[in-house]
Structure 1
Amino acid sequence: MVAAILNGTVIAESNNTVVVENNHYFPPESVDKSIFSESSTHTTCPWKGRASYFNATVDGQTVNDIAWYYPMAKPEASTISGYIAFYKSKVKIQV
């Protein structure tokens, strides 16, 4: 089981993450979406496509751009389309 933990709170947990470039991508249903809000940040990866970002609020503390996902990943990255990854500098990833 892999978990993403923010301020002692588990915000994502799954046995079915996909690892790409040393990042665990969590299935969307494994993430506590009640704490997330869409960020206005977007980036582009040459082989994965356009990424969108989430902010997260736990115990009154908001962390901006804590996670990213590829809503429509390019074909070579289709296994992570819609899956959510977290910045290890902002969230503890427990394996």
Structure 2
Amino acid sequence: MKAIWKGVVLAESADTLVMDGNHYFPAACLKREFTTFSNHRSRGAYGEEQWLSLFVNGDLLPDAIWFHPDPSLDVLKDRVAFVRGVTIAD
């Protein structure tokens, strides 16, 4: 699977986990050169969520990636998911 925004592949892995309709990618496959800081924090079903924004070719997508620093489910540890504006494709 690939996560794509503005024609740029942000993450690619055959090891995605689908939960609640979201593909969770291994954090290690995230191309960090396209991420930037976000102050956004939220609370979800699996614990605290921290967010990252995307910056691709001069375009900013705020709060586009979330992850759980200490998830209530171990399978979500070291995984990231993307908001709807990011295309998930084979």
Give the % identical residues. 28
Cα displacement (A) at 1:55 = 0.3
What is the aligned partner in structure 2 of residue 25 from structure 1?
A: 24
**Shift in Å, 1:33:** 0.7
1:24-43 aligned at under 5 Å gives the runs: 24-43=23-42
Structure 2 length normalisation: TM-score? Answer: 0.94
Q: What count of residue pairs does the alignment treat as equivalent?
A: 90
For residues 14 and 41 of structure 1, the distance between their equivalents in structure 2, rounded to whole angstroms, comes to: 26
Q: Which runs of 5+ in 2 are unaligned?
A: none
Report which of the two has the higher share of strand. 2
Q: State yes or no: 1:81 paired with 2:77.
A: yes
1:50-95 per-position Cα deviation (integer Å, ceiling 9, x unaligned): 0000101000101100110001101xx210122100012x111103
TM-score by length of 1: 0.90
Give unmatched runs, 5+ long, in structure 1: none
Distance 1:18 1:87 in 2: 15
- 1:92 aligns with 87
Runs of 4+ in 1 over 2 A off after TM superposition: none
| Distance (whole Å) between structure 2 residues aligned to residue 82 and residue 37 of structure 1 | 18
